[in-house]
Amino acid sequence: MINGSTNEFIDRISTCQDTVFIYKGKKYWFQGYMPNENTVHMEIFQIDPAKEGYVWEYNGSSITEGQEEFQIAPIFDGKTFWEVEQEMEWVDC
């Protein structure tokens, strides 16, 4: 991960903090929140260039499960976070 620690990035995802990063020249925004005490929502948008809709979305009952799902989802050109993290730049750390 460029400009940050991969483990700190994953920790930040697990606390649902807004996080901005760049992969292959595209800027993404991660956010998460709990709409109620039993539900977790996490999402990633492509913000530059802007793209409509979610790039990735998780709805469930556990922040831990959401963080794990983020790590294994083929979000980035069909690849997972761990397959591309060395090419990602964390821009708001």
**pLDDT tens string for the chain (93 positions)?**
999 999 999 999 999 999 999 999 999 999 999 999 899 999 999 999 999 999 999 999 999 999 999 999 999 999 999 999 999 999 985
Q: What's the CA gap between 88 and 59, in Å, rounded?
A: 24
Q: What is the pLDDT of residue 93?
A: 54
Q: What is the pLDDT of residue 31?
A: 96
Q: What is the pLDDT of residue 92?
A: 80
C-alpha separations of 27 from 30, 36, 68, 92 in Å: 10, 29, 22, 11
What is the span of the domain harbouring residue 46?
6-90
In a domain? residue 47: yes
In a domain? residue 58: yes
Q: What's the CA gap between 26 and 87, in Å, rounded?
A: 12
C-alpha separations of 64 from 26, 32, 41, 91 in Å: 26, 12, 12, 24
In a domain? residue 32: yes
How many domains does the chain fold into?
A: 1
In a domain? residue 10: yes
In a domain? residue 63: yes
State pTM to two decimals: 0.91
Q: What is the pLDDT of residue 67?
A: 94
In a domain? residue 1: no
In a domain? residue 31: yes
CA-derived radius of gyration, the chain:
12
In a domain? residue 46: yes
